[in-house]
Amino acid sequence: MSENKKYKPIACATYDQYEIWAMHGTVLHFQLKDREVKAKIKTLTVVDKVEYAVLDNEDKVRLDEIVEVSAV
């Protein structure tokens, strides 16, 4: 995760979709800039003005690092 890089906010509609997937407990496949992850979003959080998805595997993913996401 690139914590030192300036955060680039994501579109509100994309954030809303992440919230919906979290509420429904949807298993997702995340294609990140440096890896792939399959997990559910437990919650969305903001730390030092950077938005993160906290996953059910306890991983924390910066939302601006997500290249593509799809429901499994």
pLDDT band at 2 (very low <50, low <70, confident <90, very high): low
Amino acid 21: pLDDT = 98
Q: Is 62 helix (H, G, I), strand (E, B) or coil?
A: strand
Interval 51-72 mean pLDDT? 97
Q: Which residues, including other chains, have CB under 8 Å from residue 15's CB and lie 6 or more apart?
A: 44, 51, 63
Structure tokens given for 72: 């499994």
d(CA 28, CA 8): 22
Structure tokens given for 68: 């593509």
Place of tokens 């997500």: 66
What is the rounded average pLDDT for all residues in the chain? 94
Residue range 4-38, pLDDT digits in tens? 689 999 999 999 999 999 999 999 999 999 999 99
Amino acid 3: pLDDT = 55
Amino acid 5: pLDDT = 85
